[in-house]
Amino acid sequence: MASLGKAEGNSAFSAWVKSMKSIPRLLLSLALASLAASPAPALASIALTPERANHTATLLTSGKVLIAGGANESGNLNSVLLYDPTTTSLTPTGSLTSARSDHAASLLTDGRVLLTGGDMSDGLLLKSAELYNPATGLCTQLSKPMKIARNKHTSTLLPDGHVLIEGGKSADLYDPTTQLFTQIASKPVNRQSHAALLLPDGTVLITGGYTGKLASPTAEIYNPATQTFTLLANRMVLSRANHTMTLLTNGKVLIAGGFTGTSPQADVEIYDPVQKTFTATTPMLFNRSNHRAILLADGRVLVIGGTTLESGFLNVNEVYDPNTQVWSIHSTMSENRTGHSATLVSTGSIFVAGGVIGNETLQSAEILDPVSHAFTPVGNMTVGRNQHTDTLLPDGTVLLAGGSLDADYLNSAEVFDPTTNAFAAVGSMSVARKSHTATLLQNNLVLITGGKTATADSKTAELYNPTTASFTLTNPMNVSRSLHTATLLNDGRVVVVAGRHGGKPTPTAELFSPITNTFTLTGSMNLQRKRHRASLLLDGTVLVTGGAALSIDEQPDDGTPTAERYNETTGLFTSVQNMHSGRTEHESTLLPDGTVLVTGGITLPVPTDLYQPASQSFSTVGLLVQPRIRHTALLLTNPAWGSLVGKVLLIGGSDVGSTVFGGLQAALDSVEIYDPATGQFSLFGTMTAARQNHTASLLSDGRILICGGVSRPFVSGTGELVTP
């Protein structure tokens, strides 16, 4: 850290810092600690060189964070740093063409960053703007500046790629094609230290800020289609400046804290963009301004640091749950800080950098972990299992059947009881098998089909009766198979599709009737495949995606991008548009809107595929946080998951690329979550053990049971639970 006594420094920055009447750090930390109820600590601290506050932090398309400019006791900075979340390191990259603080930054659609305005020395403001190019690591000043000089303004990327620059007596529109600023004819309210947010309909909400020397309660909407600013008839509940706005998953906006008069406030309100109204909600636990707010993957809002009453500075963070409208302590930073930046990165962690405390600029950055869902080990299974099946039974217990333990194929089965969190052995299957299927029928029996045995792929099938806890052989399939799929149809039959047959993939499919307990061949697929996935669509057809089409198990096969749809009425398979990447040992998950999320199973990071049943085509959504294969995917449907209902958990699996484990890297312990509203993946948590080829079951009470699999490198006999 550097002290203000070291240099006279930048006058604007010094005046701002001196206006914060510092209280002793130790007393403040002790006071906050007594209120924090042992919140989660920060994960790590990183040196920030040079120290800075009032800088910008921009998440790049590469996943790195651009830290640009700012100020410290020596003056305004032209320093630019890159934070890499994969190595948790900061490295210098280029320099700004003009030292600046209290400026604005926007990531453009081409991956470059536009930096505009800000403070220069001696209280003067900048009209200039520059572009940072991540490909070269260099900043280039634009030949034409903004129409007016400005600082403490906002910069909002619009849906058409233009950028709205707002703050001061006029607003500019930046065109990335011509690299020119155009003054908008419609005049906004002359304000600074306000907040601006792009709404789902493409308009921009602008609230509060200082109009003259007073914080304002006014709000206005900018419409890009008409290039007009419209002052809203309804005002905010409170006048605010240096506050935060966060777009919630329901489309409403959370407005928190800020200065009113001379004091930070704890008041919070919700803006409804449909009604264009502001409504008070539960206040924060702490008064704050100059804080930061992050929307978490589970829909909650995390508020970080800031200035509090009596010009104290906060290290305690709190989180808002929009479902309960309750604020609670979340975590404690290693430093009290205000004037900092906070960025949610692709790993799911939050990178907090710089700021000031008292009369010192902070030379530290730290990493916060927003994950609050804990994975808890439960008692061991009766035997370790790999490539087994799991079935949630009507009584709420989970049947785990077959699989392998190292070189041994298993015919044993066991049941997990969620009331006691214990495993107990039940009757044994007639055949020891792995890579089979287990399907809960409408008559509450469980159909077990095929699988690998010690000698060959099997055509046997058996039924498990939960009432007697016993297995009984039924009529066999027509084709021996493993690594296949079995899908329960709406009429109660089960369609068994493709798989390995005698060492090579088969295109055959057959139907099981629970009335006659027999299998009948149905139409064949257009392509042979194994290690594919199948999902029952809302219209009753079955979507089959990817899989390996090569004949030899040991031959490398990245999977086919093809997909086809099975119609139970006609008994035929019809090809649909290809996915964007070949996939095998991936997962497919039916979402509530009828689309199907297809994740993982590839050798290189590429966007995830989303099947659109109306057009029978695939579109792309975000990248996985970590490439994975042999994972499980669960749609969160139980109401116990609150705002996470409708999102998808991707659990464990293996990374791809090495020769370990048959071409796969060691198993993963990471879990990530997919949000259909944003099309993005983020880190959810970490299991107690790394796993691939495991099972994951959503229990009746909302908890998730994760069992077995291969865990670096041994077959695991452990299980664990994650609670909503």
In a domain, 395, yes or no: yes
**715 pLDDT higher than 90:** no
The reply to whether 377 and 321 lie within a common domain is: no
Which residue segment(s) compose the domain that 655 sits in?
A: 373-420+624-724
Q: Which residue has the higher pLDDT, 385 or 14?
A: 385
Specify burial of residue 413 (Cβ count, 10 A radius: 0-12, 13-18, 19+): buried
Asked whether 196 and 204 are in contact (CB, 8 A), the reply is yes
* CA distances in angstroms from 674 to 3, 223, 561, 578, 598, listed in the order given: 44, 31, 21, 22, 11
pLDDT tens for each residue of 511-558: 999 999 999 999 999 999 999 999 999 999 999 999 998 765 444 467
pLDDT at 299 (0 to 100): 84
The reply to whether 290 and 390 lie within a common domain is: no
Instruction: Give exposure, 572-590, as e/b (b: 16+ Cβ within 10 Å).
Output: ebeebebbbbbbbbbbbbb
**662 pLDDT higher than 60:** no
Confidence of residue 667 (pLDDT cuts 50, 70, 90): confident
Nearest to 696 by CA among 372, 297, 373, 400: 400
In a domain, 126, yes or no: yes
pLDDT tens for each residue of 43-88: 457 889 999 999 999 999 999 999 999 999 999 999 999 999 888 8
The reply to whether 56 and 100 lie within a common domain is: yes
Render 474-522 in DSSP notation, one character per residue. EPPPSS--BS-EEEE-TTS-EEEE--EETTEEB--EEEEETTTTEEEEE
The reply to whether 302 and 275 lie within a common domain is: yes
The reply to whether 413 and 316 lie within a common domain is: no
In a domain, 691, yes or no: yes
The reply to whether 360 and 412 lie within a common domain is: no
In a domain, 89, yes or no: yes
pLDDT at 5 (0 to 100): 27
pLDDT at 25 (0 to 100): 34
In three-state secondary structure terms, 34 is helix
pLDDT at 677 (0 to 100): 85
pLDDT tens for each residue of 479-506: 999 999 999 999 999 999 999 998 899 9
pLDDT at 691 (0 to 100): 93
The reply to whether 310 and 398 lie within a common domain is: no
pLDDT tens for each residue of 4-36: 222 233 444 444 433 433 333 333 333 333 333
Asked whether 280 and 267 are in contact (CB, 8 A), the reply is yes
In a domain, 306, yes or no: yes
Mean pLDDT confidence for 586-604: 91
Q: Where are the beta strands (DSSP E) in 110-178?
A: 113-116, 129-133, 138-141, 154-157, 163-166, 171-175
pLDDT tens for each residue of 168-187: 999 999 999 999 999 999 99
Asked whether 491 and 484 are in contact (CB, 8 A), the reply is no
Q: Copy the structure tokens of residue 390.
A: 């799991």
Neighbours of 253 (CB within 10 A): 21
Rounded to whole angstroms, the Cα distance separating 546 from 560 reads 5
Asked whether 533 and 598 are in contact (CB, 8 A), the reply is yes
The reply to whether 168 and 57 lie within a common domain is: yes
Rounded to whole angstroms, the Cα distance separating 27 from 315 reads 12
Last residue of a domain, one of 368, 384, 401: 368
Rounded to whole angstroms, the Cα distance separating 382 from 205 reads 58
Q: What average pLDDT does the structure give for the chain?
A: 89
Q: Which residue has the higher pLDDT, 3 or 311?
A: 311
The reply to whether 285 and 303 lie within a common domain is: yes
Mean pLDDT confidence for 656-685: 74
Q: What is the CATH number of the domain that holds 41?
A: 2.120.10.80
Share of the chain above pLDDT 90, in %: 72
Find the range with the poorest average confidence among 62-66, 118-122, 427-431. 118-122
Mean pLDDT confidence for 213-223: 97
Last residue of a domain, one of 306, 339, 368: 368
Q: Copy the structure tokens of residue 680.
A: 């993005």
Place of tokens 């464990």: 652
Find the range with the poorest average confidence among 217-226, 237-246, 460-469, 708-717. 708-717
pTM equals 0.62
In a domain, 268, yes or no: yes
pLDDT at 606 (0 to 100): 77
Mean pLDDT confidence for 105-127: 92
| Cα angle for residues 479, 482, 487 (degrees, 5° grid) | 85
pLDDT tens for each residue of 35-45: 333 344 444 57
DSSP 362: -
The reply to whether 105 and 80 lie within a common domain is: yes
What's the domain count of the chain? 2
In a domain, 392, yes or no: yes
Last residue of a domain, one of 346, 368, 390: 368
pLDDT at 659 (0 to 100): 42
Find the range with the poorest average confidence among 301-305, 599-603, 608-612. 599-603
The reply to whether 102 and 138 lie within a common domain is: yes
Rounded to whole angstroms, the Cα distance separating 414 from 417 reads 10
The reply to whether 203 and 343 lie within a common domain is: yes
Find the range with the poorest average confidence among 377-381, 441-445, 538-542, 599-603. 599-603
pLDDT tens for each residue of 433-477: 999 999 999 999 999 999 999 999 999 999 999 999 999 999 999
In a domain, 353, yes or no: yes
Rounded to whole angstroms, the Cα distance separating 258 from 208 reads 9
pLDDT at 348 (0 to 100): 77
pLDDT at 566 (0 to 100): 98
